């Protein structure tokens, strides 16, 4: 009986680990652009390039590398374009800040216009 | 501010935006990764296509002043278009071309070279395509030019007259 309970617990735990690993894999696949496809992630694509990248990512995860290390490796090889969400860096700073600046200038102009009208 | 100046500033802004959009519209939309340019070639050791006891070690590029690495496969149609260029290129310019056989069957690769000629001094077998990813390649054919182990130029697709001239310029 003890053996049976031990096996059940082991199976439950290992299936949890397996599904967490699969979730992480899929999360990474969905954030990696298939650069030979039209707007697809490698998760959605069955191109040779996507399949090769999936295999490599899976291997890297099995070797203990984390998500960040995998993104860093791919960016070092293919540039920021390879990830759908490159995050905030020096090159994308303008892209992140420009809408905020435009929004603030717009707000300021509306505020000034309103003030003028009141006067 | 004077209305006249406002109209001038608005006009200039519209022209700048128009020119920017026009430039983006006319630019090349095909993404060509060139992240590896200026970097050292990644480390790898591959089996040679013809001799299982010989290895293609990436260190070989560090020893050479100038080398060309060509990624190819027998199943790749553009590689057939490129092949006469490679043969001609090697014969005329005495340039050391090293091949990287990408995800290919050895028998097919050997037959391909038997039929069309072998321009390579050494051929590494990249059965899983992992070294190609290390190099930042995304298909075949692709050609890298290296100076003392550093990637200085990359051409995606079959070599053509322009690419060959560019490589020869880099050799000078």
List chain B residues with CB under 8 Å of A49.
138-139
Where residue A55 sits, what CATH number does that domain have? 1.10.8.640
Q: How far apart are CA A21 and CA B31, in angstroms?
A: 31
Lowest mean pLDDT among A15-24, B6-15, B62-71: A15-24
CA distance A78 to chain B (A): 5
B57 with B134, same domain: the answer is yes
Residue B152: both structure tokens together: 């200085």
A78 with A96, same domain: the answer is no
Mutate to test the interface with A, among B24, B31, B154 (most CBs of A within 10 A): B31
Task: Please check whether residue B39 lies inside any domain of the structure.
Answer: no
The answer to whether residue B29 scores a pLDDT higher than 80 is: no
Is B36 within 8 Å of B124 (Cβ atoms)? Answer: no
Task: Provide the whole-model pTM.
Answer: 0.76
B26 with B51, same domain: the answer is no
B151 with B111, same domain: the answer is yes
Task: Please check whether residue B37 lies inside any domain of the structure.
Answer: no
Mutate to test the interface with B, among A72, A76, A77 (most CBs of B within 10 A): A77
Instruction: Compute CA A50 distance to the chain's CA centroid, rounded to the nearest angstrom.
Output: 15
List chain A residues with CB under 8 Å of B133.
52-53, 56, 77
Indicate the number of domains in chain B: 2
DSSP string, B6-24: HHHHHHHHHHHHHHHHHHH
Q: Which of B33, B133, B139 sits opposite A56 (nearest CB)?
A: B133
E strand map for chain B:
45-47, 55-57, 67-72, 97-102, 122-126, 142-147, 150-156
B78 with B143, same domain: the answer is yes
Kindly provide the ipTM of the predicted complex, given to two decimals: 0.76
B69 with B141, same domain: the answer is yes
Q: How far apart are CA A118 and CA B28, in angstroms?
A: 51
A34 with A81, same domain: the answer is yes
Closest chain B residue by Cα to residue A49: B138
Does B139 contact A at CB distance below 8 Å? yes
B138/A78 touch (CB, cutoff 8 Å), yes or no: yes
pLDDT averaged over chain B? 89
B87 with B166, same domain: the answer is yes
B88 with B149, same domain: the answer is yes
A80 with A103, same domain: the answer is no
At residue B153, the pLDDT reads 94
B15 with B68, same domain: the answer is no
Q: What angle do CA B104, B118, A52 make, to 5 degrees?
A: 20
A28 with A75, same domain: the answer is yes
Q: How far apart are CA B80 and CA B69, in angstroms?
A: 16
At residue A9, the pLDDT reads 67
Q: How confident is the model at residue A104 (pLDDT cuts 50, 70, 90)?
A: very high
B120 with B155, same domain: the answer is yes
A77/B128 touch (CB, cutoff 8 Å), yes or no: no
CA distance B91 to chain A (A): 32
B123 strand-pairing partners: B99
A45 with A72, same domain: the answer is yes
Q: How confident is the model at residue A35 (pLDDT cuts 50, 70, 90)?
A: confident
CA distance B135 to chain A (A): 7
Domain that holds residue A94: 88-119
A45 with A64, same domain: the answer is yes
Where residue B57 sits, what CATH number does that domain have? 3.40.30.10
Comparison of pLDDT for A13 and A54, the residue scoring more:
A54
Neighbours of B102 (CB within 10 A): 28
Task: Please check whether residue B99 lies inside any domain of the structure.
Answer: yes
CA distance A14 to chain B (A): 29
A22 with A35, same domain: the answer is yes
User: pLDDT tens across B112-124, in order?
Assistant: 999 999 999 999 9
Token pair 């096996």 is found at A7
Strand (E) or helix (H) holding B90: helix B77-93
A71 with A32, same domain: the answer is yes
Domain that holds residue B3: 1-30
User: pLDDT tens across A11-22, in order?
Assistant: 666 666 566 688
Cα separation values, B153 from B26, B51, B144, B169, Å: 24, 29, 6, 11
Q: How confident is the model at residue B83 (pLDDT cuts 50, 70, 90)?
A: very high
A76/B33 touch (CB, cutoff 8 Å), yes or no: no
A65 with A114, same domain: the answer is no
Is B79 within 8 Å of B70 (Cβ atoms)? Answer: no
Residue B151: both structure tokens together: 């990637």
List chain A residues with CB under 8 Å of B132.
52
Indicate the number of domains in chain A: 2
B133/A35 touch (CB, cutoff 8 Å), yes or no: no
Cα separation values, A111 from A16, A94, A100, A107, B87, Å: 55, 25, 16, 6, 70
Is B69 within 8 Å of B151 (Cβ atoms)? Answer: no
List, in order, residues 6 or more apart from B9 with CB less than 8 Å away.
none
Task: Please check whether residue B79 lies inside any domain of the structure.
Answer: yes
Q: How confident is the model at residue B154 (pLDDT cuts 50, 70, 90)?
A: very high
């Amino acid at each position: 009986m003890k053996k049976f309970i031990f096996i059940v617990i082991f199976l439950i735990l290992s299936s949890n680990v397996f599904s967490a690993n699969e979730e992480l894999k899929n999360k990474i696949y969905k954030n990696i652009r298939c650069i030979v496809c039209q707007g697809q992630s490698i998760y959605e694509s069955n191109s040779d390039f996507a399949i090769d990248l999936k295999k490599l990512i899976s291997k890297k995860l099995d070797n203990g590398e984390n998500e960040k290390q995998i993104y860093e490796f791919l960016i070092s090889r293919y540039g920021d374009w390879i990830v759908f969400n490159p995050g905030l860096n020096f090159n994308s700073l303008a892209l992140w800040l420009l809408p905020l600046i435009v929004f603030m200038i717009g707000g300021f102009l509306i505020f000034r216009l309103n003030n003028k009208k009141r006067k | 501010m004077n209305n006249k100046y406002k109209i001038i500033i608005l006009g200039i802004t519209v022209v700048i935006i128009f020119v920017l959009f026009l430039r983006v519209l006319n630019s090349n939309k095909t993404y060509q990764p060139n992240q590896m340019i200026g970097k050292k070639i990644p480390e790898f050791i591959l089996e040679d296509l013809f001799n299982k006891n010989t290895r293609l070690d990436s260190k070989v590029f560090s020893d050479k002043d100038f080398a060309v690495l060509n990624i190819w496969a027998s199943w790749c149609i553009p590689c057939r278009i490129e092949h006469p260029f490679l043969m001609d290129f090697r014969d005329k310019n005495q340039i050391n071309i090293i091949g990287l056989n990408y995800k290919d069957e050895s028998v097919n690769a050997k037959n391909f070279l038997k039929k069309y000629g072998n321009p390579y001094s050494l051929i590494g077998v990249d059965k899983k395509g992992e070294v190609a990813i290390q190099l930042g390649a995304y298909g075949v054919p692709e050609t890298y030019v290296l100076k003392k182990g550093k990637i200085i130029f990359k051409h995606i697709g079959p070599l053509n007259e322009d690419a060959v001239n560019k490589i020869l310029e880099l050799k000078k």
